[in-house]
Chains A and B, each alone.
Chain A
Amino acid sequence: MDMRLLVVFQTLALPLALSFVLLCLTPRSDWQNTLGLLLIWLPSYAWIIGLPSVPPLEAVDWLWLLGLMMTMTPIINRPFRRQMVQTFVLLMGLVALTWPVLRYQLTVVLSIELIITGAAGGVLLHRLNRAPPASPALTMATSAGGLAVASALAGSLLIGQLAAALAAVTGGFALYELIKRSRETRFSMQQTALTWVIYLGLLTIARVYAELPLGPAVLLGASPLTGLLLPWRYGWFTSLLLAGIALAWIVLNNSTTSAG
């Protein structure tokens, strides 16, 4: 198969097609929906990275485990306990992803970045368990799409492809929200939590391992956060705006460096 076709198929076509299948199958139980979302992301993930190492060796090898653990959390009935477990999984995931660097390069800046990432992740998980956002799939698709392009431009096509696949698995649900003009969603809170945690994982990998600049990384972190926290229907538009600024930042920085 032609290389470009292969990339398009494994990164966009396959997960998007599966996303529409999952959309047609919903609504089912929250746990099944979340598991379904993970299952339609895994084929692209495994295809892109060439099957993850077991036990995990590199940061990207941890993502499926992180996703699996998040998928299990909707089993917990009590919201507060579920939220605590989800936050714990997120924090442990961030430590596992960054441990190879943390163990020999634990700088103040990196520590602060990780604490802020963990705190932001925890805050959103807390909110998701209390109040559903207006258009979560559209927000996550927009932000993951932005991260995909940003990672590819900043230096890692691998992270870019993984983020694009994440955007594509939410694509069917995002399109549904667009058609319904953000009045209705089929993307559950737990699905949003799963997508958010994988997104944060990818953003952290891009920042720590692929040298994604701090400014665009902050904007890309804020992109889904604002989109999901804002109460109004078109909150996802702020996600689009922040992701767009992040991309413009990277493009301008690249062209400035090249000229120099």
Chain B
Amino acid sequence: METRTIKALLSLVAFCATPGLSQTAAAEAVAAGNYKIDPAHTTIQFTVSHLGVSDLSGRFNLFEGGITLAPNGNSEVNVSIQTASVDTNHRKRDDHLRSPDFFNAKQYPEMRFVSKKVSNNAYGQPIKVQGDLTLHGKTRPVTLKVSPVGAGADPWGGYRAGFNATTTIKRSAHGMNFMQGGIGDDITITLNIEAVKQ
């Protein structure tokens, strides 16, 4: 029984490793074109200070988006996130986050990022994305710091590219002012994106 379990786990690890992808792809150019964010291999997380003594992380489970990689800084990124899909591994807290105290998910079911300017490195990979984040009914400019992870052919005949992106926003700038004393104003958002070329 144990041997079978170990074999299954090894198979899963081998499957996730996707040997078709180049491990040194980070330094290589990413193929230009339109990409669709793969929700199964993408995570959108956030971290916020709790009472000033610890950092609490959560994630959004429902989102979609696309990336257009083009030369000469004409790349575009857009991501749409369902605020009701917030998940901090605690049901009551998630209900509270969805309430009018924070995201007010009934009134503002979606938060959206739309890029305005994408800066590339020498390999044509995006390293900085400036754009507008609409959250809680208010649109504010944000800058995402991007780290290309890798790109290459996948075992299914497609082409994938991965990026990590991070930014810090102030929730008060989006009108989320409740419980400022206990829950930090600065929210660090981290996106680990895997996108599939269309």
Residue of B nearest to A159 (CB): B100
Choose one: B95, B107, B179; the contact of A58 (CB below 8 Å): B107
| B106 surroundings in chain A (CB, below 8 A) | 100-101, 105, 208-209
The count of residues in chain B whose C-beta lies closer than 8 Å to any C-beta of chain A is 18
Inter-subunit contact A156/B99 (CB<8 Å):
yes
Instruction: List which A158-185 residues lie within 8 A (CB) of chain B.
Output: 158-159
Let me know if A66 is at the binding interface, CB within 8 A.
no
Let me know if B73 is at the binding interface, CB within 8 A.
no
Residue of A nearest to B102 (CB): A158
**Residue of A6, A210, A254 with most partner-chain B CB within 10 A:** A210
Instruction: List which B42-96 residues lie within 8 A (CB) of chain A.
Output: 91-92, 95-96
Let me know if B98 is at the binding interface, CB within 8 A.
yes
| A108 surroundings in chain B (CB, below 8 A) | none
Let me know if A42 is at the binding interface, CB within 8 A.
no
| A157 surroundings in chain B (CB, below 8 A) | 96, 101, 178-179
Let me know if B104 is at the binding interface, CB within 8 A.
yes
Say yes or no: A205-B137 contact (C-beta < 8 A), given A6-B181, A155-B92, A158-B178.
Answer: no
| B104 surroundings in chain A (CB, below 8 A) | 58, 209
Let me know if B20 is at the binding interface, CB within 8 A.
no
Inter-subunit contact B95/A57 (CB<8 Å):
no
Shortest CB-to-CB span from B184 to chain A, Å, is 13
Shortest CB-to-CB span from B95 to chain A, Å, is 4
Inter-subunit contact A3/B182 (CB<8 Å):
yes
| A60 surroundings in chain B (CB, below 8 A) | 100
27 A-B residue contacts at CB 8 Å? Answer: A3-B182, A50-B177, A50-B178, A57-B137, A58-B100, A58-B137, A59-B107, A100-B106, A100-B107, A101-B106, A101-B107, A105-B106, A154-B95, A155-B92, A155-B95, A156-B96, A156-B101, A157-B96, A157-B179, A159-B99, A159-B100, A208-B106, A209-B99, A209-B100, A211-B95, A211-B99, A254-B92
Q: Which of B's residues lie within 8 Å of A, judged by CB?
A: 91-92, 95-96, 98-101, 104, 106-107, 137, 175, 177-179, 181-182
Supplied contacts A59-B100, A209-B107, 20 more A-B pairs, CB within 8 Å? A3-B182, A49-B178, A58-B100, A58-B107, A58-B137, A58-B175, A59-B107, A60-B100, A100-B106, A100-B107, A154-B95, A156-B96, A157-B101, A157-B178, A159-B100, A208-B106, A209-B104, A209-B106, A211-B95, A254-B92
Q: Which of A's residues lie within 8 Å of B, judged by CB?
A: 3, 6, 49-50, 53, 57-60, 100-101, 105, 154-159, 205, 208-211, 254, 257
